[in-house]
Amino acid sequence: MSLSTLSPAAAAAATGAGSGKSFSAAVPAAPSVRLARRWPPAPAAVSAAAVEADPAADRVSALSQVSGVLGSQWGDEGKGKLVDVLAPRFDIVARCQGGANAGHTIYNSEGKKFALHLVPSGILHEGTLCVVGNGAVIHVPGFFKEIDGLESNGVSCDGRILVSDRAHLLFDLHQAVDGLREAELANSFIGTTKRGIGPCYSSKVTRNGLRVCDLRHMDTFGDKLEVLFKDAASRFEGFEYSKSMLKEEVEKYKRFAERLEPFIADTVHMLNESIQQKKKILVEGGQATMLDIDFGTYPFVTSSSPSAGGICTGLGIAPRCIGDLIGVVKAYTTRVGSGPFPTELFGEEGDVLRKSGMEFGTTTGRPRRCGWLDIVALKYCCEINGFSSLNLTKLDVLSGLPEIKLGVSYNKPDGQKLQSFPGDLDTLEQVQVKYESLPGWQSDISSVRSYSELPLAAQRYVERIEDLVGVPVHYIGVGPGRDALIYK
């Protein structure tokens, strides 16, 4: 990789300048940071005895060079935890889309909780380089607030995060427009996080947005930013705009530009060179497939592509390079905001899942809507993404329920069975869900670490999901901690 594509700080880190060390130029790292270790060995080198002693060795070693972790419901499935667990086995963890509307909660080895929003979930592992790709949108003040929070808690970010020079900048004005837009929609509001994500992507598509590389041209930055201010002021009566506001914003971003420069890189070139050099890359998706701008429950969706296609467009990685994709699915279903939710539970039943699962948004704190696991939606997500395996999370939350239900099919009001998940929301709002009931289990499974030790009813539940969707469940979450994971 040519060091000219990196910022000065990243270039120095890549060569080990001043440290007496030599690092691979494809994976820039601070001089004090070692590269991700090569563990476990290649599949052929894993003995049967090792697999029996450590199921994770075989399971993780089989993952392809470029793998991904994607949401397979309406978000909040627990993607961050799996990324955090897998990160030490990869050189790079990359975010391909979304912004600070993503909320990934992870825990370090001491059990300390971290709530990440834009920084990839590999940041707690010192040997892993984190990349924010061109498909993401960057609110620079929020980005630095997140970094400062990590640094204050002992997590070094120096030389360990790269931001694509092609990523779009999200301004405070986008957040203001987000709120005005939701207010304008009144009873038909989308239910966004009001973080400005949608308006920023709108600027991108309208082609008047600003990108990270524009911070290197402050002589024209103000003129470009003024176009955004004028556009918002002409569209929304409640949007306040003045020349002094513009001047203040430009001055603020001059300071941001200086601080952000060490993070900026041509990540498209860097990632592709890393692939050629056999570096391992783990892609972390934000939000989930049912919120995809094309495949989700439109218009109650996010503004990017959290499904498999977003990896290619959001990172500049060719489709042929992408291997294993792991779909993360909660043992039940939740969603926030508005939109149809066929298996939603109301009243006391919904409250039981919400309280047991602590279902409140990481980013917003909003209570999540809860319901039974929707197999129709899950099969649809598996088809779109081609998942090689699933990570079933929060299985422990179902402990104590006398009966557990799976929404296995949809019928129209006239009784006609739908063959797939419908794109028409009018149809989706009227579907009648056919449920399959399975017996629950009464024991606490949060301390279980082996699949064979799960209650038979819990095993039957997992295996029934596999049968219905045709994709194996390889990872089972039974608690929030790193170690609360069963490899199947």
Which amino acids are annotated as binding site for GTP, given as ranges? 75-81, 103-105, 368, 394-396, 477-479
The reply to whether 405 belongs to the active site is: no
| Cα torsion through 415, 418, 421, 427, rounded to 10 | -50
Instruction: Return d(Cα 431, Cα 425) in angstroms, integer.
Output: 10
Question: What are the Cα distances from residue 184, in Å, to 45, 181, 366?
Answer: 60, 5, 21
- Is 76 annotated as catalytic? yes
Please state at what angle helix 197-206 crosses helix 172-185, rounded to 10 degrees. 100
Give the number of other CB atoms < 10 A from CB of residue 326.
Answer: 26
Q: What letter does residue 368 receive in the DSSP assignment?
A: P
Binding residues for Mg(2+): 76, 103
| Catalytic-role residue among 84, 104, 168, 474 | 104
Known catalytic residue: 231?
no
Q: Is residue 244 within a helix (H) or strand (E), and if so which, with residue range?
A: helix 243-260
Q: Which residues are annotated as a binding site for IMP?
A: 76-79, 101-104, 193, 207, 287, 302, 366
Q: In sequence order, what are the beta bridge partners of 437? A: 405
Element (H or E) spanning 245, and its range?
A: helix 243-260
Instruction: Decide: residue 108, CB within 10 A, 0-12 exposed, 13-18 middle, 19+ buried.
Output: middle
How far apart are alpha carbons 131 and 265 in whole angstroms? 9
Q: Which of 168, 148, 169, 149 is nearest to 250 (CA)?
A: 169
Show binding-site residues: 75-81, 101-105, 193, 207, 287, 302, 362-368, 394-396, 477-479
Alpha helices in 316-448 (DSSP H): 347-356, 375-385, 425-430
CA torsion angle 120 122 128 131 (round to 10): -10
CA angle 284, 258, 163 (to 5 degrees): 15
Catalytic residue among 139, 194, 204, 279: 204
Listing DSSP states for 145-206 in one string gives HHHHHHHHTT---TTTEEEETTSEE--HHHHHHHHHHHHHHGGG-----SSSHHHHHHHHHH
List beta partners, residue 115: 105
Contacts of 387 (CB under 8 A, 6+ apart): 70, 72, 325, 326, 327, 381, 471
Residues with a catalytic annotation lie at: 76, 104, 204
